[in-house]
Structure 1
Amino acid sequence: MDDERILERERLQIEQIRQLESEELQVEEVEESSDDEDVQNSSGGASASVEFTYDTSLAALHSYLGEVENTHNRLAFLEGGAVLTLPLLYLEGVVLFPEARLPLRVILPNFIAAVERSLRQDDAHSIGVVRRYRDPNNGKIQFATTGTTAEIRQYRRLEDGSVNIVARGQQRFRLRRRWIDIDGAPCGEVQIIQEDSPLRTPQDAVGKLAPLSNLRMGSALQMPSLNDSHNQHSCIDGNDWDAISDGSFDSELSSAERMLHRAALISSYGSDLFEEPVSSDDEKFETSRSHLNNYEGFMHTEYSERNEEASPGVGRGALLAKQSCRRMGWGKYSVGHLRDAPRAFWPSWVYRMYDSYVLAQRAADRWKHVVRVPNMDRFVMKPDLLSFHIASKIPVSESTRQELLEIDGISYRLHREIELLESLDRIRCKTCQALIARRSDMLVMSSEGPLGAYANPHGFVHEVTTLLKTNGLAIEGFPTTEYSWFPGYAWSIADCATCETHMGWLFTATRKKLKPRSFWGIRSSQIADETR
């Protein structure tokens, strides 16, 4: 039933596209008025106040490819580490990620042979997609060693022998070797990459945990055992840590090392204990280290000066801790709060730096602030999918997106994406570094996001970032609606006015009520790596 509803919705959208394409390119003469059907753009980043009537789902259909039929393929998911032979497509200007859609118009005989081999070799119709690029140092053609398997979902052979297909990325792989088979099809031996699972506490990344029963200062301050249910929780909200059996950790430390370790545990209680606003991870580290040093000094002073004040029946260590806490401004916290210290050696904020779910929330929030749509909140509980979705849609250069594809580890990929989203400001020409646009100029014209892949009649695939306005671009030729990626808009070639490099296209509306009236599409392969 779901497939039938999807097909029915697509049929309605195709009818809408045909109506748009039947419109003449001439501008209609209508009265200027504030039409009720004009809506505010909810998908344009900083350009959210632009009037918007265009249906962004139309661009995602890739109707310019014509009628394509479903291949009824069987989904195939391979185990990490599996080695297999796949037909390959070497694409320039494209980086395919898992779950991303890839439209193709295949006209080269060797690539047609690769597609045909994929369609007949198994029910999954899998093909490998590898980025092809020119080395900026020597100008030689290079092939990336990390690619993505793609499943051919829709297919149509045209009368001239070319093939139109729509594929979907599935799994990353390493390209081990490549060759040309007897039919002329490029083939390769690939190894599927084993993806890691999102973890809340990647302990291997930040150090070992110490058992509570071994953390004591001298013999007076006794800590609860691991069997104490009150302490079977993490200092990170909602995170459960594996219990560690008692060992000889404490016995292997000198008295000074035990004191420092205990101070680190106290500092790991977090910002709630210190009650100090901290603006960055570096400042948190300095704050934690400062308290640790202060704590060591206070412990020495209190022990030497007030040793005689220990009351009968009260442990000297307990009194010492209480007095030190009071001197450090922790008066409202009892020794019982110290017994509640987490079992981790490092402060909780260190663990949050590598927590996939915390990073996923940060990335989704940053995306919402910078790009706005599509909304990434639904992927927060699936950090692996979120990292791939952002990587496939973030409007950065082609080489930067290849870098994201090659990153192993969900947390590390999310870290890099957050960094890119925070630094994303200026878009420059790759050739001459001329400023083309700013982040605030982004405009999302497709439901797939601000960056999408589109095929042209000559077999080239372009990844395009859509913008409301640009600087320093010159228009070449007259607008045409033929093979337009955005139904209802005519396109014209746009070159960099400084170096005359082909930067992208200007799209202009073919009827009065279609808004925005115009926008730009910039090739990601022509965007400079530097985004600041």
Structure 2
Amino acid sequence: MEQIRELDEEELQIEEVETLSDDSSDDDAATNGHANGRNDSMGEFTFNTSLASLHTYLGEVEDTHHRMAFVDSGTILTLPLFFLEGVVLFPEATLPLRIIQTNFIMALERAMSQVDSPNSIGVVRVYRDFENRRLRFASVGTTAEIRQFRRLEDGSVNVVTRGKQRFHVRRHWIDVDGAPCGEIEIIEEDVPLRTPRDAFGTLPPLSNLGSQSFSHSTKSHNHAKRHRDRDENNDSEAESEESFLTELSLSEMRLHQSAVDSCCGYNMINESMNSDDEKYVSESESPSGKSQSSDGSSQAKLQGKVQSNLEVGRKAKIRESFEEGDPGKRRRILIQLNQFRAVPQAFWPYWVYQMFDSFALAQKAADMWKQIVGAPSMDGFVRKPDLLSFYIGSKSPVSESTRQELLEINGTSYRLRREIELLEGFDRVRCKNCQIFIPAQTVIAKRSDMLVMSTEGPLGAYVNPGGYVHEIMTFYKANGLALIGRPTKEYSWFPGYAWTIANCATCERHMGWLFTATNKRLKPRSFYGIRSSQVADDTR
């Protein structure tokens, strides 16, 4: 609120224009400060996006001056539970609440006074099962820390909370005073994975394959490995590791060589392997994929012969390139070949490791997020893949059920991979009700029309005067919506904008709101807020 007062006291350095409303205090605050929105063909973005994340419509709220410590994974707690329809709370996300119902007021008071995990509640999504016509509760929720608190004269309470840790709901009940409570278990979060530095250094380099030193280097490697494992009382594992190279079939050797191809970006092995080589390999293998030779010496001979054929193919390709190229090109080919053959083999291709490298996935997800949303640099999040996965999950403009799916995924790399898939497929927003009952769906909004009206991202949670929390995604324009009633500024989530209810023109379900500027200085002049709970799962 101090920021709002400062903004109100600042002198506007722009020309005064006629306003559409006599009350312009919110308009002045909304146009001051730096706007984090994007500039586009619609005109310069002048709305101060930091105001939406402050939830100024709640009025004065006091800081609780208490911060909840993280609880160890596996800890079982008893907390007051808030079952909220249309809401999926992620760790580090902000959730405003206006508590009117007596039972939830009792739950809040219990949370403020409890000794274990003070100022903490559990937030669980509740949804309607249309087939069975009943309410269902999600099995995974998020603890929320009460950051700001204000009790009003009518007995209601305004609260601003922040998500902390995921949990499983073990059981829930209504206490004697009517407060909903539950027994929860904190979920263990994994440590973000990174490709091990020695993932490609456990086997001899390709330059040793087929040479006289290959057998010696392999034996030395296996001997050292066996000796180390014996010291650790892992004799059985040592035997398995020792026999790995000596029992490689010809097809398995080719897989190792393909792994190096994936890592270095060269396809020299596959290109140099001619039809005679492939025929030889297929004849040398049994139906089970193993070599027909039973003794180690025969296997070594087969390996050596295959490598010899590969070397012939490589040399032929190099000679052809030399004849066609200039001296500079020849020099580059030699350098690339030497680098290629010096690369150590890997047990799996490089792209397999990248599938589970949380930091590589975080970089890809951050790049896609910046491209789609137009957000500023995400470098800070890239260094913390787990937080990035929660951030994208909480702000992705997808359906409520899809976001619950993201919340329930265990493992940072798995969650990031799913989010990347969703970002790649996100293109259109459709009405969920029409998807169920009407074959021909109307496209409500498109990805290209998405707009960021808050520093927290393109999707945020806001609470109305009746205490109902709405998570909305914002767009410049929308189709197939019918406006109900006249615009009003009262309790507006975006200072300086009036809101009008917008229903789906086909099924007449409440889809969201149209927000229109009450001051000509504000840009964009209008935008739509679409409820995520009314968005269909199909975003393509």
Q: TM-score, normalised on structure 2?
A: 0.78
More helix by share: 2
SS at match of 1:268: helix
Mapped pair 1:264 → 2:255: yes
Mapped pair 1:55 → 2:41: no
Whole-angstrom CA distance in 1 between matches of 2:272 and 2:378? 38
Mapped pair 1:151 → 2:162: no
* 2:122 corresponds to: 128
Which runs of structure 2 are paired with 1:145-294 in the superposition (5 Å)? 145-201=139-195, 211-212=202-203, 220=212, 221-222=214-215, 224=217, 247-249=239-241, 251=243, 257-271=248-262, 273=264, 275=266
**How far apart are 1:74 and its partner, in Å?**
2.9
**How far apart are 1:261 and its partner, in Å?**
2.5
Whole-angstrom CA distance in 2 between matches of 1:421 and 1:473? 25
* 1:340 corresponds to: 343
Mapped pair 1:511 → 2:516: no
* 1:408 corresponds to: 410
Cα distance change of structure 1 residues 521 and 252 upon mapping to structure 2, 3 Å threshold: closer
Aligned match for 2:400, one of 381, 385, 398 = 398
Segment drifting more, 444-453 vs 47-56: 47-56
**How far apart are 1:9 and its partner, in Å?**
3.8
**How far apart are 1:80 and its partner, in Å?**
0.8
Mapped pair 1:524 → 2:532: yes
Cα distance change of structure 1 residues 219 and 514 upon mapping to structure 2, 3 Å threshold: closer
Segment drifting more, 501-510 vs 123-132: 123-132
Aligned match for 2:311, one of 325, 335, 339 = 325
Deviations 1:247-267 (A, max 9, x none): 444536786x43223222221
Is the CA contact 1:472–1:496 (under 8 Å) kept in the aligned structure 2? yes
**How far apart are 1:515 and its partner, in Å?**
0.6
**How far apart are 1:183 and its partner, in Å?**
1.6
Deviations 1:462-514 (A, max 9, x none): 00111100111111111110000000001111111111111100111011111
Which AA in structure 2 matches 1:340? V
Which runs of structure 2 are paired with 1:287-306 in the superposition (5 Å)? 297=279
Is the CA contact 2:210–2:308 (under 8 Å) kept in the aligned structure 1? no
Whole-angstrom CA distance in 1 between matches of 2:465 and 2:67? 29
* 1:235 corresponds to: none
Aligned match for 1:89, one of 82, 89, 104 = 82
Whole-angstrom CA distance in 2 between matches of 1:14 and 1:174? 45
Cα distance change of structure 1 residues 273 and 406 upon mapping to structure 2, 3 Å threshold: closer
Whole-angstrom CA distance in 1 between matches of 2:477 and 2:276? 55
Deviations 1:69-91 (A, max 9, x none): 01111322011111110000000
Mapped pair 1:421 → 2:423: yes
Whole-angstrom CA distance in 1 between matches of 2:478 and 2:397? 15
Mapped pair 1:465 → 2:451: no
Which runs of structure 2 are paired with 1:435-450 in the superposition (5 Å)? 435-450=443-458
Is the CA contact 2:7–2:32 (under 8 Å) kept in the aligned structure 1? no
* 1:497 corresponds to: 505
**How far apart are 1:40 and its partner, in Å?**
12
Cα distance change of structure 1 residues 185 and 161 upon mapping to structure 2, 3 Å threshold: same
Cα distance change of structure 1 residues 112 and 15 upon mapping to structure 2, 3 Å threshold: farther
Whole-angstrom CA distance in 2 between matches of 1:523 and 1:376? 26
Which AA in structure 2 matches 1:260? S
Whole-angstrom CA distance in 2 between matches of 1:300 and 1:482? 77
* 1:307 corresponds to: none
Deviations 1:260-306 (A, max 9, x none): 232222211134655359xxxxxxxxx9899799966567999xxxx
Cα distance change of structure 1 residues 317 and 184 upon mapping to structure 2, 3 Å threshold: closer
Which AA in structure 2 matches 1:51? E
Is the CA contact 1:480–1:490 (under 8 Å) kept in the aligned structure 2? yes
Which AA in structure 1 matches 2:174? I
Cα distance change of structure 1 residues 40 and 88 upon mapping to structure 2, 3 Å threshold: closer
Whole-angstrom CA distance in 1 between matches of 2:184 and 2:470? 25
Whole-angstrom CA distance in 2 between matches of 1:289 and 1:173? 52
Is the CA contact 1:217–1:262 (under 8 Å) kept in the aligned structure 2? no
Segment drifting more, 190-199 vs 245-254: 245-254
Is the CA contact 1:90–1:129 (under 8 Å) kept in the aligned structure 2? yes
Aligned sequence identity (%): 55
Cα distance change of structure 1 residues 529 and 292 upon mapping to structure 2, 3 Å threshold: farther
Cα distance change of structure 1 residues 64 and 322 upon mapping to structure 2, 3 Å threshold: same
Whole-angstrom CA distance in 1 between matches of 2:112 and 2:104? 12
Is the CA contact 1:266–1:341 (under 8 Å) kept in the aligned structure 2? no
| Unmatched segments (≥5 aa) in structure 1 | 1-6, 17-22, 29-36, 229-243, 278-286, 303-314
Cα distance change of structure 1 residues 434 and 417 upon mapping to structure 2, 3 Å threshold: same
Aligned match for 2:492, one of 477, 484, 496 = 484
| Unmatched segments (≥5 aa) in structure 2 | 11-16, 23-30, 222-235, 285-300, 319-333, 435-440
Whole-angstrom CA distance in 2 between matches of 1:116 and 1:376? 38
SS at match of 1:212: coil
Is the CA contact 1:213–1:246 (under 8 Å) kept in the aligned structure 2? no
**How far apart are 1:155 and its partner, in Å?**
0.3
